[in-house]
Amino acid sequence: MTCGSYFSSHKRENLSRIQEAYKDYTIHKQTYAELSEKYGKSAKTLRKYFDKFAGATGEVSECTEPCVLIMDATFFGRSYGILIARNLKKVLYWQEIASESIREYELCLNQLEAMGYYFNAFVVDGRTGVRQMLMRRYPGIPIQLCQFHQIQIVKRYIPRRAKTEAAGKLRQIALGLTKSHETAFEQTLNVWYSEYGDFLKERTSVEGTNRWHYTHRRLRSAYKSLRKNLPYLFTFQKYPKLGIPNTTNHCDGLFAHLKQKILIHRGISKKRRKQMIDYFLENF
């Protein structure tokens, strides 16, 4: 197909075709080689078009009612990440970050409030500092901790081939989190502790000193994480009318897609990478 079928001398039509090509590049994950074949333009020419015309508009959706705000961050390397805040329908805010600090979350909330947004619930990962900041800033607003992140925390402490019976059973309890009701889950956790509480308290002396440490430290950490976060793991069941999700999967799905896209377009400059991320998050 000839390039004249896609790009013309008419400015408005030409812009439309450029945006269509950029959508193929960003949303549909086509490479420059594939785009060159489809649109009849060289990779160099397409890059020039994209740099000049394509990208996010910066338009903000009007806020008409309180929303459930889902916040999470992901990293593409040691010091380059993206913080996302979204409602159940679309991304409302995103920002490049060097570290996942509480300050970054506060800046996000400041910006959203300045845009007129207000919230009736939050869904976040298991970071204690984020939860404490939300409780201080929005007292009485429900907070749901991501159940998937909680499962991952337990899995980091207890491998698939657990070394003890107690660890294996606690891992299975955690794996059933997303299919549980709060009352049943807490009862199961209580039964586990009644059986293995003494085991958790076992100590090991440090030879040649008066010091000691808990023998099963990783198992203790897994249990303490579940126990500490339990009041926030089933918030979605307490407020069914709000439609609170039990995970941050609305963000995690975007992160997976975005990382795949960046992998496909490896080698692009930082400026073009940001342009691509901005367009993707505004339009996906």
pLDDT in tens, 98-120: 999 999 999 999 999 998 999 99
Cβ neighbours of 203 (radius 10 Å): 9
146-164 pLDDT tens trace: 999 999 999 999 999 999 9
Percentage of the chain modeled with pLDDT above 70: 79
Do 35 and 68 fall into the same domain?
A: no
In a domain, 241, yes or no: no
The pLDDT, as a whole number, for residue 4 is 45
In a domain, 203, yes or no: yes
pLDDT at 265 over 90: no
The pLDDT, as a whole number, for residue 13 is 44
Half-sphere exposure of 47 (CA within 13 A, CB side): 12
| Cβ-based burial of 135 (10 A; exposed 0-12, middle 13-18, buried ≥19) | middle
In a domain, 226, yes or no: yes
Do 69 and 141 fall into the same domain?
A: yes
Place 52 in a pLDDT band, splitting at 50, 70 and 90. low
**Domain range holding 121?**
64-146+247-284
Take residue 234 and report the two structure tokens written for it.
Answer: 């089933």
* Cα Rg of the chain (Å, integer): 24
Handedness of CA 207, 208, 212, 217 (dihedral sign): negative
Do 155 and 217 fall into the same domain?
A: yes
Do 114 and 255 fall into the same domain?
A: yes
- Among the three residues 20, 36, 54, which one is the final residue of a domain in this structure? 54
The pLDDT, as a whole number, for residue 3 is 45
The pLDDT, as a whole number, for residue 62 is 62
**DSSP class per residue in 60-90:** -PPP-S-EEEEEEEEESSSS-EEEEEE-SSS
205 has which bridge partners? 212
In a domain, 242, yes or no: no
The pLDDT, as a whole number, for residue 146 is 97
The pLDDT, as a whole number, for residue 51 is 65
Do 152 and 132 fall into the same domain?
A: no
Compute the distance between CA of residue 104 and CA of residue 83 in angstroms, rounded to an integer.
Answer: 8
Do 203 and 216 fall into the same domain?
A: yes
Do 82 and 215 fall into the same domain?
A: no
Do 134 and 256 fall into the same domain?
A: yes
Do 132 and 154 fall into the same domain?
A: no
Do 48 and 70 fall into the same domain?
A: no
Do 120 and 256 fall into the same domain?
A: yes
In a domain, 240, yes or no: no
CB burial string 10-47: b at 16+ within 10 A, e below: eeeeeeebbbebbebbbeeebebeebbeebebeeeebb
Cβ neighbours of 226 (radius 10 Å): 23
3-state secondary structure of 243: coil
Domain count for the chain:
3
pLDDT at 40 over 80: no
In a domain, 271, yes or no: yes
Do 227 and 151 fall into the same domain?
A: yes
